[in-house]
Chain A
Amino acid sequence: MTGRGVLIGNADCEAGVAVVQAIAREGARLCLHGGSAASLAPAREAAAAAGCAAPELYFGMGAREAVAAAQAGGPVHVAISVLPPLPAGRLSGLADGDAALRSGWTHVTASAELFQAALPAMTKRGEGRLIFVGPVEAKAMTGRDADVERAVGIGVLGMMKALSGEVGPHAVTCNSLLWDSLPIGEGRVRILDGLGAGAAYFASPLSEFLTGLVIAVDEGRQGGVF
């Protein structure tokens, strides 16, 4: 991973910070995209604590612009889109479920923009990694009411699976990690550590034959056999 360019979208949310920390440990060139310098501060500090003193910060711009800016400094080998927390609850219980769904769906668009912008250079180079990080609710009903996150997460999963078939011939892989945000305390630490490790593994050259996967990071609690 040393020297590989890794762009992480929504690096300023809790899951994003966990991914940043794990990737930083591997010696990658880190490019962090988020809402503002202040919101990216925890990710920057996590990167520094893990050995990456000066991650590149991109904020106040869309995903396409962030990719272009990151590519100006060197190749982006890995693009990671992290879904931030979206309005919780059942759609029927939300004051404006329609607005929540519409707003949530912009994150599908943002993931698509991030990957679309990063892909041409990857396919030209004949190697790349696209990774989506979302909620485990996209795969399983849990004790958390998260209708909006579920709908958005599943949308991105479908896109990732279709994309894996489309870009596989260019040796670009597409994989997803779904994390369980229900646990608190030590359990949450374990899950976030596992989420970061999974992202680092999918970002690494060691996973070159793995594509189209959806892996839950939930200590085996949720979901069915598959």
Chain B
Amino acid sequence: MDLGITGRVAVVSGGSKGQGLATAQVLLGEGCKVLIAARTPETLEEARAQLAAAAPGRVAAVAADMTDAGEVARVVAAARRQFGPVDIAVSNVIGHTIDPDEAGVHAGYFGDTPTREYAKEFKQLLLSSWWLAREVIPDMKARRWGRILNIASGSAREPQWEIPHILPNTVRPAVAALHRGLAEELSPFGITVNNMLTGPVATQRNIDYYTWLARERGVSFDEMISTTYARLPLRRPGKPEDMGHAIAFLCSEQARAISGQCMSVVGGRLRHVY
């Protein structure tokens, strides 16, 4: 399927690992020029080198904290300088930390999550995606073409109460609402705005999460994930490239009439009809 985005300039935050890296790979495969941004310089450089080997001259990387408004502006300016105005912006900022070995998971249940964590999650998920959109919208409006995409979570639509997830359950819907409003506002300018709702995708982050959760519940990792996947109609976890392909489609020329949507890539887990 020719997606018609050869030569388009893309920025992918959280682009050094997992779904962000897979998204960058798929966009490069479609002929885009891609700037990836992530916090850790070493991991970022590894990813840049890996991507550049397959797409020389079309990859750039900037180490940045995308939960800081100034840093987001710096990243977008770097993309503009290196490749030109940004056509495609993919916000892939993670929320709460997952550290199966030491700090644990800070997504919490309602009763045990300090209120300061809500503010932090709000900044990481909602403000960061808004800041990225804000930086790229002027160029997109001027060129009357743009794709803004936020990698979110199935919890935006169906809260997960069987796991400690109060923070994403609270903030993810707000992000979806933000993007729905932007979609309506920007449609006359040829700019689409969509959310990808992800879930059981086999990224290292998810593996870490289930490792921690299995230990918390006193079950083996295998038992933990087999129970999880058994609940999915498709009975298997997604691959990062499943997300990458879906994102590339929504960022395509052909998807110009698809905006304001929450596309869930969760193996059919969500049970609502709409």
Contact = CB atoms under 8 A, between A and B. Distances in A.
Interface stretch (B42-50, B54-62, B98-106, B250-258): B250-258
B270 A194 contact: no
Nearest to B2: A25
B234 A219 contact: no
Nearest to B252: A197
Contact of A220 (B1, B184, B249, B263): B184
Contact of A216 (B252, B255, B261): B261
B184 to A, nearest CB: 5
A171 B274 CA distance: 21
Main secondary structure of the interface of B (DSSP, over half): mixed
B274 A214 contact: yes
Contact of B249 (A1, A206, A217, A226): A206
A209 B239 contact: yes
A196 B252 CA distance: 13
Contact of B258 (A166, A198, A212, A223): A198
Interface of B: 1, 157, 173, 176-177, 180, 183-184, 186-187, 192-193, 232-235, 238-239, 242, 245-246, 249, 252, 254-265, 267-268, 270-274
B235 A169 contact: yes
Contacts, number: 122
B193 A220 contact: yes
Q: Which 6 A-B pairs have the closest CB atoms?
A: A168-B233, A194-B257, A197-B254, A220-B259, A220-B260, A220-B183
Interface string A161-199: 100111111010100000000000000001101111110
A26 interface: yes
B257 A219 contact: yes
Contacts of B232: 168
A215 B238 CA distance: 20
B268 A211 contact: yes
A210 interface: yes
Interface of A: 1, 22, 26, 139, 154, 157-158, 161, 164-169, 171, 173, 190-191, 193-198, 200-201, 204, 206-221, 223-226
Nearest to B254: A197
Contacts of A158: 273
B1 A219 contact: no
Contact of B260 (A168, A204, A213, A216): A216
Contacts of A139: 274
A225 B233 contact: no
Contacts of B271: 161
B132 to A, nearest CB: 19
16 contacts: A167-B233, A173-B268, A190-B256, A195-B257, A197-B252, A197-B255, A210-B264, A211-B234, A212-B264, A216-B258, A217-B257, A217-B258, A220-B184, A220-B260, A221-B187, A224-B180
B257 A191 contact: yes
B187 A215 contact: no
A226 B1 contact: no
Given A194-B255, A209-B234, A225-B176, 20 more contacts: A158-B273, A161-B272, A165-B233, A166-B233, A169-B235, A171-B234, A191-B257, A194-B257, A196-B254, A200-B1, A200-B254, A201-B249, A206-B249, A207-B249, A209-B267, A215-B263, A219-B187, A220-B184, A224-B180, A226-B157
Most B C-beta atoms less than 10 A away, residue of A165, A212, A217, A223: A212
Contacts of A197: 249, 252, 254-255
A88 B260 CA distance: 26
A22 B1 CA distance: 10
Contacts of B252: 197
B233 A209 contact: no
Contacts of A206: 1, 245-246, 249
A30 to B, nearest CB: 16
A154 B272 CA distance: 12
Contacts of B256: 190, 193-194, 219
B258 A194 contact: yes
Contact of A215 (B183, B235, B254, B258): B258
